[in-house]
Amino acid sequence: MHIVELKNVTKEFNGVTVLEDINLYIRENEFLTLLGPSGCGKTTTLRIIGGFEEPTKGTVLFEGKDITEVPPYERQINTVFQKYALFPHLDVYDNIAFGLKIKKIPKDEISKRVKEMLRLVNLQGFENRTIDSLSGGQQQRIAIARALVNEPKVLLLDEPLGALDLKLRKDMQIELKNMQKRVGITFIYVTHDQEEALTMSDTIVVMDKGRIQQIGTPVDIYNEPKNAFVAEFIGESNIIDGIMHEDFLVEFSGKNFKCVDKGFSKGEDIEVVIRPEDIEIVSVENGSLNGVVDSVTFKGVHYEMIVKSSDFDWMIHSTIMKPVGTEIGMTVSPENIHIMKKV
């Protein structure tokens, strides 16, 4: 069942198109992430789903019903904004209880649900704390509790971890993901951080310049990028021109390689994507490609080496370090040679 669906959604601001023909569906209980560089239209897409923005063209469906013109407060969708937007003059309890009080829910029920939410976000006993006595991470959790207490069917989160430092962000990524599975609510999450998207999502929607570039699971997006934009945005890649000779046989760097891709026309110009960690260093005699190490950078878990071959500079990530000037052989197994249509 699709809980939310966008059909041919286009958005213009003052005649400038910022979203173009967005088609997207989101399943119940899914953790879906909109990923892309700043300005690509992530927030605008989220605001359209939340009802804060109307599309110029196209429709928004919720459980199959057209809600394009339904105001935000009548949608079963809640939002956690980039800035948490907590009420600074209210304590934690009143911040979380706010929406329930407006709905005139009985006091006992409110108290029970606020407690439940505090347990969910691991902040039991924080009822009477003031907002400015909380750390960034704690404020973030209160913002999530405040959104979830209304029992929305869908929660929209716009770069909610952006303001946190790296360590806390990593902890919160795991915590948020676990929380989502526990409460069984659909999350639509926005980030420009590819690692965050890969860690948390069931489905990633990669966007660039107002268009969807690719939709898939983290593994799909990482292993089978559809175009050079996706390949370069998600992790690092070697992208080299090639020719498809037949199914499972590709030529690049003047040599033929076995690959696992098929369905391209004979002689078709394509691009080959190889991840830096998928190139294995071997002896010169055993290499299907040869080159000379041009630079070495220590990156903590691996070394990053640039290896110059006659027609291409290869980036390699390896735990084995070869000094600058060494001639080495390189091999790549067929399943790590990814073929993309040339655009």
Distance CA 41, CA 38 (A): 8
Contact pick of 44, 138, 173, 180 for ligand ADP (by CB under 6 A): 44
Question: Which partner in ligand ADP, Mg ion, none is near 140 (CB below 5 to 8 A by kind)?
Answer: none
Strand, coil or helix: what is 117? helix
Query: Judged by CB under 6 A, does residue 38 bind ligand ADP?
Result: yes
Contact pick of 6, 22, 43, 237 for ligand ADP (by CB under 6 A): 43
Closer residue to ligand ADP, CB minimum distance, 145 or 190? 190
Closer residue to Mg ion, CB minimum distance, 47 or 75? 47
Nearest distance, CB of residue 35 and ligand ADP, angstroms? 9
Buried b (16+ CB within 10 A) or exposed e, 240-270: bebbbeeeebbbbbeeebebebeebeeeeeb
Question: Which partner in ligand ADP, Mg ion, none is near 291 (CB below 5 to 8 A by kind)?
Answer: none
Nearest distance, CB of residue 90 and ligand ADP, angstroms? 28
β-partners of residue 339 are 272
- The span of 42-50, 65-73, 145-153, 332-340 binding ligand ADP (CB under 6 A) equals 42-50
Contact pick of 5, 26, 32, 41 for ligand ADP (by CB under 6 A): 41
CA 252 to chain centre: 31
Distance CA 94, CA 89 (A): 9
How is residue 146 written in tokens? 């405040």
Query: Judged by CB under 6 A, does residue 42 bind ligand ADP?
Result: yes
Query: Judged by CB under 6 A, does residue 18 bind ligand ADP?
Result: yes
Nearest distance, CB of residue 46 and Mg ion, angstroms? 8
Other C-beta atoms within 10 Å of 277: how many? 16
Q: What is the CA radius of gyration of the chain?
A: 24
Question: Which partner in ligand ADP, Mg ion, none is near 13 (CB below 5 to 8 A by kind)?
Answer: ligand ADP
Closer residue to Mg ion, CB minimum distance, 48 or 293? 48
The sign of the CA dihedral 73, 50, 121, 169 is negative
Q: What share of the chain is helix, strand, coil (3-state, %, to 5)?
A: 30, 35, 35
Q: Is 299 left (phi over 0), alpha (psi -120 to 50) or beta?
A: alpha
Residues that bind Mg ion (CB under 5 A): 43
**Binding-site ranges for ligand ADP (CB under 6 A):** 13, 18, 36, 38-44
